[in-house]
A and B are shown apart, each in its own frame.
Chain A
Amino acid sequence: MKKTLLASALVALSAFAANAQDTVRIATEGLYPPYNLIDDAGNLAGYEVDLGNEICKRAGLTCEFVQNDWDSMMPNLNSGNFDVIMAGMSITEERKKDRLFSQNYMPPAVSYYVATSADADIKAGVVAAQTGTIQAGHVAESGAQLLEFKTPDETVAAVQNGEADAVLADGEYLQPVVDASGGALVVVETIPLGDGVGAAFRQSDTELAAKFDKVIAEMKADGSINELIKKWFKEKAVLF
């Protein structure tokens, strides 16, 4: 039963292989607004989706966005289930060792410590962060006590319900949350982390990375990338 199912699926699938134009599959998380999110109609949306589509249009590529868990991004990229990651991934020296980054499409921005009061203990207290992010790495090394969650919104929830003293995440992600909280959440401290956000590729995919690089440079030059940033990150955004 399973064999026939698979076999027929394979036959059906190989029919598509004939179309020579390969689709570039871009993975995103869908849980990190306004970088990437699932809108109320159930479609992927956000800054990175708009940007990715624009890059593909200019580079003449056929692209498709797929949603994937943050945890399994890298194994899936390496085994070829998709070709690009655009998921708010910060560029760091450590990450550069095992993947290729495009130039940043978000300026090197600051990460925020957000808490319910301005005197929260971020040096030795409990700080929440998403597993596998640069912020989690920073907290582990800072001497504070790291509390790890699978998704970004859980880290914020942990501060709101008193589980954690503070949360450390990208400023762009936390700013709207702080604005919406009506004073319940405040920014305690800001620190620069990483070299901005970029698209990640397999190390052998230099050609595709170069195409992305070229268009991003072009969009920075003509200012269209700033328009997109303004659209999604509102007026407080840091521009190029």
Chain B
Amino acid sequence: MTCWETIGAYAFRSLGYGERLLPKSDFTLCQQFTLIGSGLIWNIYFGVLALAFGFFLANALALAKTARSAWVRKPAEWFIFVFRGSPLFIQFFLGYQLFVLLPKNGVELWGITVHTDWLTKAWAGALFVLFLNTAAYSAEIFHGALMAVPKGDLEAADAYGITGFARFRRILWPTMLRLGWPAYTNEAIFLFHATTLVFFSSFPAFRQQGDALYYAGYFADKTYNPFIPYPIVGFYFICLTLLLTWAFSLVNRRLNRHLPSNQRARIRLRPQLIR
């Protein structure tokens, strides 16, 4: 099999297209690169969607944490503490065990049957756990940024008569995003790294469709040589990290575009926010 044929057969194997059986003998570098790259699709899927959904919940949580009413504030604080204070590994595990306990035939809610069995599948269940997890970490970042919004900005808003939701939407929120963005970039990078835990902790791989680490593990198991597949995963993740940094710096430039160039926040990678 030439390398092109291999790519044709396995490039979308992780989604269930192409060759049904994984290679069994005569392993080539091309096979390893193709299949592990195919698995990377899942890492990107988990990372992008968890980040996108998590962003909204994070904003809500950050606001709830600033609320005066303890009824709003306390749950948000506890949510953030539980998800930031425990290992993601354990969260995945508990998540899977809980989803499995849900009734198989769905739950009757107001006469409508809500199906729950899809939650035990990695594509939904793991995404849900990652979504909650990144929301908690991002909420902490956004809360910190919200607290750091300069007093002068708010006074200026008051002077212009901007109040209530308009003040939040036009003054507070953009400044919060701008201040929090470098840290949020870090969170995004480490979220992508965390996606490798999905099939590793508790969610079973279905029809041998897994992420990059799953296929690397398959090759390490078959070839007894961990020194090739795992560095390939590393290589893919370096590329992914560079791509992500670039995309986030574009947003960062837009958020800072009104500022003189020497006052702009630069994105510096600090590994302060992994799980």
Contact = CB atoms under 8 A, between A and B. Distances in A.
Contacts of A162: 104, 117
A145 B207 CA distance: 5
A158 B101 contact: no
A158 B100 CA distance: 9
B205 A74 contact: no
Contacts of B5: none
B206 A149 contact: no
B9 to A, nearest CB: 15
A140 B221 contact: no
A146 B117 CA distance: 17
Judged by DSSP, the binding face of A is: mixed
A200 B183 CA distance: 51
Interface string B77-115: 000000000000000000000001100100000000000
A87 B117 CA distance: 34
A131 to B, nearest CB: 8
A140 B100 contact: no
B22 interface: yes
B22, B24, B204 — most chain A CB neighbours (10 Å):
B204
Nearest to A71: B221
A141 B21 contact: yes
A74 B224 contact: yes
Interface in A177-233: none
B101 A161 contact: yes
B217 interface: yes
B150 interface: no
Given A71-B217, A161-B100, A140 B204 contact: no
A163 interface: yes
Nearest to A149: B204
B226 interface: yes
Interface residues of A, number: 23
A140 B21 contact: yes
Interface string A124-161: 00101001100000001100011111000010011001
Interface in B186-230: 204-208, 217, 220-221, 224, 226
A166 to B, nearest CB: 14
B206 A147 contact: yes
A128 B220 CA distance: 22
A149 B206 CA distance: 10
13 contacts: A71-B221, A75-B220, A78-B224, A126-B206, A128-B204, A131-B221, A140-B22, A147-B204, A147-B206, A148-B204, A148-B205, A161-B104, A163-B120
Nearest to A162: B104
Contact of B208 (A75, A140, A157): A140
Contacts of B206: 126, 145-147
Nearest to A74: B224
